[in-house]
Structure 1
C-alpha cells in the first residue's frame, strides 16, 4: 500500500520551506554582502598598491583590513552560502 501526500500537504511544506528561507535570509544575506564587499575592496586596494607602490600607504591599510575581514568571515560566508543553496534546492525539489 502506497500512501501519497495530498496537494494541500505539499503546498504547506513548500510554504514552510519558503518561510524558513526568508527568515534565515535576514542573517545570511548581510554576511554574503559584507564578505563580497570586502573582497571587492581587497582586490581594488591591492591593485592600487601594486600600481602605485609605497606611495599608496592608505590603500595598504584598506587591503590589510579587508583581508582580515575576508579571512575571519570565510567560515560564516561558507555557512551562509551553504544554507542558501540547501533551501533553494529543497524549494526547487518541492516545486517539481
Structure 2
C-alpha cells in the first residue's frame, strides 16, 4: 500500500488528534495521567501486529513488511497519547480540579 505525499500529513494529523482526544477524555474520566500511553503500547500496537502477522515468513519478514507510513502513523498516535497526558498534567498543576 502506497501513501501519497498529500495523504501522509493528513494521516499523521488524524491519528494525533484521534489519540489526543481519546486520551484526554480517558484521563478526565479515569483521573489518571498516562493511561492512554499504556493502553497504546500494551494493547493497540501488539493487537495490530497480531492481526497482520503472516506465519509463512519469519519475524524480520513481517517487520520489514511495514512501510515508513505505517511507522509514522504509529508514532503520530503515540505522540498524541503522550500530549494528552502532558496536557492533563499541566492543567492539574495549574489548579483545574475537573482534570
Higher RCO structure (Cα 8 Å, ≥6 apart) = 2
Give the shorter-chain TM-score range. 0.3 to 0.5
Give the helix-richer structure, 1 or 2.
Answer: 1
* TM-score, structure 2 normalization: 0.38
TM-score by length of 1: 0.39
